A and B are shown apart, each in its own frame.
Chain A
């Protein structure tokens, strides 16, 4: 290649040795830093344990519950009292076990929230980054599509679609919701991408012949990763509320499928609020605890990616 830069100057062993030495000097990886951050912030560690334990419990336990059987009406246990061996958390007006509904309902709601977050955030991030990076005509067209989506009355449209389509289950609901929840992310990401695109390292990458897609997703994306992680955790907490809210209104999951929203909808009845607290209180508490925990974890993730805010450095 080039005689003046002779490759033979460094032998195989030297290369291995140099690499090893360099590895020792290596800056710690993001995962290690994140673990340090969790150890420095005890409430966040507790929150992480709560989330993980709860998710695992809910997903495993719901495998052992016969859902159609659990949702059968049973007049004999009409508003059964909680803390009995048959009904840990009592039963509702149809005599169905609240504990079983809570477990299966949590799985449904969390599953939809995860699916919705993954799909809508991925789409929103890609949309925002492409729009912000290319600018000009592409940006103009993509932002008009965004504007159009923003002026659609979201909740009304979702309710109409939900009532119109014939095949309707958790997956289709997730897809329908995803169509309407990517806009906020995309605008946020676009604004940061606009700022990053004009930095010198992007010019440098262009000058060194890197392709546009590589620049967007390998050069710019790591630099806005803190924003992406914070936004994704926050929108996950928010998305738990989306399905719950729809089910509360009666347009969420189909009848006979338990969800956190249908449980909270029990509170629509004044009699339930005053006399039968166990029908709605557990679900409400669960949502509050989960959403709080998620934002604690999100804060740690943000601190990991922003060296100036770190607490666990020493």
Chain B
């Protein structure tokens, strides 16, 4: 049984208009997304901006209202209220993209990190302070940070404070919403390594939301590619990076910059070819409203939103 299972998640926002302010349309931010995350693993959710990655993460956490779908946590539906819900909130935490705005500017670091502790653990004052110092230690900050304000730290330090806050209650799953996209490259590595260290020590799972394929490759064991609110391809790291089947995935992978100067012309040619293929075959891979087709299993771990004829072709090739 996986730690968390998302089934057919939909988040639609109504568009109001007309004389009576009726609902005249829906913006389908997330439209039928399903995946599952195993305990102790990192699941990457990749896509361009506006594809619904963050909305997916927030609705798993309960910050966005789901229009439809179920989320099973350790086999239990989280819509069940009461103690199950509190337990779920305690075990699923989040690291936010913008480290400055996600830390309350008027509170000291001690009370920021202690916030989940105060809500879930009910420690006495000494124990609480001890725990906060330990958490700061895990992310490589000293006890002198206790009584400072968020604006007194650099971006990387703030994001590490965000990590410390997220792991405070020993959660089972942390939703990391582009945790390093606002940081410069040297600090990115630092924060990512802290996240990996925390995973090794505490055994948490991550839902890693990002648009940076290099970072995702470094962090994730399973990856899903999202486009216009739907998944277009889902599989292991090997499936996605070495055997991409959907044209959108190929296009994303082609966009990773190459440092090899000698192969520059070749790389450029390949990129242009993929771009041309994308332009020409787009209609085949998306339905008439521009949404991705339903996922089809290609292997035990790999599923792609392929049109039927291509799928048959592929299967025939596989048998031959």
Name the CB-closest residue of A to B109: A22
Across the interface, which residues of A come within 8 angstroms of B134, CB to CB?
A: 5, 7, 9-10
| Contact with A4, one of B96, B101, B202 (Cβ below 8 angstroms) | B202
Whether B149 is near chain A, meaning CB under 8 Å from some CB there, is yes
Whether B309 is near chain A, meaning CB under 8 Å from some CB there, is no
Whether B41 is near chain A, meaning CB under 8 Å from some CB there, is no
Asked whether A22 lies within 8 Å of B130 as measured between CB atoms, the reply is no
Q: Which of B4-12, B22-30, B86-94, B281-289 contacts A (4 or more CB under 8 A)?
A: B86-94
Whether A85 is near chain B, meaning CB under 8 Å from some CB there, is no
Whether A271 is near chain B, meaning CB under 8 Å from some CB there, is no
Across the interface, which residues of B come within 8 angstroms of A21, CB to CB?
A: 143-144
Q: Which of A19, A21, A200, A219 has the most CB of B within 10 A?
A: A200
Whether A313 is near chain B, meaning CB under 8 Å from some CB there, is no
Asked whether A208 lies within 8 Å of B116 as measured between CB atoms, the reply is yes
Asked whether B61 lies within 8 Å of A207 as measured between CB atoms, the reply is yes
Asked whether A2 lies within 8 Å of B170 as measured between CB atoms, the reply is yes
Of residues 63 to 116 in B, which have CB atoms within 8 Å of A's CB atoms?
63, 86, 89-90, 93-94, 96-98, 101-108, 115-116
| Contact with A208, one of B101, B145, B165, B170 (Cβ below 8 angstroms) | B165
| Contact with A223, one of B102, B104, B127, B138 (Cβ below 8 angstroms) | B104
User: CA–CA, A210 to B116, complex, Å?
Assistant: 8
Asked whether A27 lies within 8 Å of B115 as measured between CB atoms, the reply is no
Across the interface, which residues of A come within 8 angstroms of B152, CB to CB?
A: 27
Name the CB-closest residue of B to A214: B119
Asked whether B105 lies within 8 Å of A223 as measured between CB atoms, the reply is yes
Asked whether A203 lies within 8 Å of B104 as measured between CB atoms, the reply is no
Whether A199 is near chain B, meaning CB under 8 Å from some CB there, is yes
Whether B39 is near chain A, meaning CB under 8 Å from some CB there, is no
Asked whether A209 lies within 8 Å of B89 as measured between CB atoms, the reply is yes
Asked whether B129 lies within 8 Å of A200 as measured between CB atoms, the reply is no
Of residues 171 to 203 in B, which have CB atoms within 8 Å of A's CB atoms?
201-202
Across the interface, which residues of A come within 8 angstroms of B147, CB to CB?
A: 22-23, 25-27
- The answer to whether residues A25 and B144 also contact, given A204-B94, A205-B115 and a CB cut-off of 8 A, is yes
> Which label, helix, strand, loop or mixed, suits the secondary structure of the A interface?
helix
Cβ contacts A211-244/B at 8 Å (1 or 0 each): 0000000010011010000000000000000000
Whether B126 is near chain A, meaning CB under 8 Å from some CB there, is yes
Asked whether A15 lies within 8 Å of B101 as measured between CB atoms, the reply is no
Total A-B pairs, Cβ < 8 A = 99
Name the CB-closest residue of A to B99: A200
Name the CB-closest residue of B to A29: B147
Task: State the Cβ distance, B282 to closest chain A Cβ, in Å.
Answer: 35
User: CA–CA, A203 to B134, complex, Å?
Assistant: 25
- The answer to whether residues A209 and B120 also contact, given A200-B102, A203-B58, A223-B105 and a CB cut-off of 8 A, is yes
Asked whether B144 lies within 8 Å of A203 as measured between CB atoms, the reply is no
Cβ contacts B243-273/A at 8 Å (1 or 0 each): 0000000000000000000000000000000
User: CA–CA, A2 to B96, complex, Å?
Assistant: 25
Whether A39 is near chain B, meaning CB under 8 Å from some CB there, is no
Q: What count of chain B residues pass the 8 Å CB interface test?
A: 44
Asked whether B115 lies within 8 Å of A210 as measured between CB atoms, the reply is yes
User: CA–CA, A94 to B224, complex, Å?
Assistant: 90
- The answer to whether residues A200 and B115 also contact, given A19-B129, A21-B144, A209-B90 and a CB cut-off of 8 A, is no
Whether B297 is near chain A, meaning CB under 8 Å from some CB there, is no
Q: Contact size class for A?
A: 20 to 34
Asked whether A15 lies within 8 Å of B116 as measured between CB atoms, the reply is no
User: CA–CA, A10 to B136, complex, Å?
Assistant: 13
Asked whether B146 lies within 8 Å of A199 as measured between CB atoms, the reply is no
| Contact with B130, one of A15, A201, A208 (Cβ below 8 angstroms) | A15
User: CA–CA, A15 to B133, complex, Å?
Assistant: 9
Whether A18 is near chain B, meaning CB under 8 Å from some CB there, is yes
Name the CB-closest residue of A to B111: A218
Across the interface, which residues of B come within 8 angstroms of A203, CB to CB?
A: 58, 63, 96, 102
Task: State the Cβ distance, B5 to closest chain A Cβ, in Å.
Answer: 20
Cβ contacts B128-154/A at 8 Å (1 or 0 each): 011101100010000111111100100
Across the interface, which residues of A come within 8 angstroms of B61, CB to CB?
A: 207
Cβ contacts A174-209/B at 8 Å (1 or 0 each): 000000000000000000000000011101111111
Task: State the Cβ distance, B256 to closest chain A Cβ, in Å.
Answer: 29
Across the interface, which residues of B come within 8 angstroms of A2, CB to CB?
A: 170, 202
Across the interface, which residues of B come within 8 angstroms of A18, CB to CB?
A: 133, 143, 146
Across the interface, which residues of B come within 8 angstroms of A223, CB to CB?
A: 104-106
Asked whether B133 lies within 8 Å of A10 as measured between CB atoms, the reply is yes
Across the interface, which residues of B come within 8 angstroms of A23, CB to CB?
A: 147
Across the interface, which residues of B come within 8 angstroms of A204, CB to CB?
A: 94, 96, 102-103, 165
| Contact with A201, one of B58, B103, B108 (Cβ below 8 angstroms) | B103
Name the CB-closest residue of A to B108: A27
What 9 new A-B contacts, CB under 8 Å, besides A15-B130, A201-B103, A223-B106? A1-B170, A2-B170, A10-B130, A22-B143, A25-B148, A27-B108, A201-B105, A208-B165, A209-B86
Interface residues, chain B, with chain A CB atoms under 8 Å away: 58, 61-63, 86, 89-90, 93-94, 96-98, 101-108, 115-116, 119-120, 126-127, 129-131, 133-134, 138, 143-149, 152, 165, 170, 201-202
27 residue pairs bridging A and B, Cβ less than 8 Å apart: A7-B130, A7-B131, A15-B130, A18-B143, A19-B143, A19-B146, A21-B144, A22-B143, A22-B147, A23-B147, A25-B144, A27-B108, A201-B101, A201-B104, A201-B105, A203-B63, A204-B94, A204-B96, A205-B115, A207-B62, A208-B115, A209-B90, A209-B119, A209-B120, A219-B104, A222-B106, A225-B106
